[in-house]
């Protein structure tokens, strides 16, 4: 299932985990989700090149997703990041964007995997 095919609206972001245990080899971000159909899964973003996780804490409520998209245009912050470091953007990466009621997550990654954690 592709990123955009997931039932994002009203899904709940439960947890985000960054794994750089072997930088350059293992660069991943996992986001645990509760879906509207009451299933649970982890979205694993692999080969992450850049991420912006604007998470708001101290909010006494669930963090419901409003929408999620794959972004094709490069954000100015990302362009500046790569320009400063003279890295070349790999054309095989996507910008994944998740906007929720209180958070905004943008991840530049080569691939994602959906891992069911229900049951």
Quick count: other Cβ atoms within 10 Å of Cβ 41? 19
pLDDT per residue over 14-31, tens digit each? 999 999 999 888 899 999
At residue 94, the pLDDT reads: 82
Nearest to 65 by CA among 104, 31, 30: 104
How high does pLDDT run on average in the chain?
Answer: 85
Percent of the chain surpassing pLDDT 70: 82
pTM here is 0.82
Average pLDDT over residues 64-68: 94
């Amino acid at each position: 299932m592709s990123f955009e095919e997931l039932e994002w609206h009203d899904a709940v972001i439960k947890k985000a985990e960054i794994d750089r245990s072997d930088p350059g080899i293992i660069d991943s971000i996992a986001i645990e989700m509760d879906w509207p159909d009451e299933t649970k899964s982890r979205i694993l973003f692999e080969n992450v090149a850049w991420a912006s996780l604007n998470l708001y804490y101290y909010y006494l409520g669930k963090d419901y997703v409003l929408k999620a998209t794959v972004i094709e245009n490069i954000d100015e912050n990302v362009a500046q990041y790569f320009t400063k470091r003279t890295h070349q953007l790999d054309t095989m990466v996507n910008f994944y964007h998740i906007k929720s009621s209180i958070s905004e997550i943008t991840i530049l990654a080569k691939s994602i995997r959906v891992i069911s954690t229900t049951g």
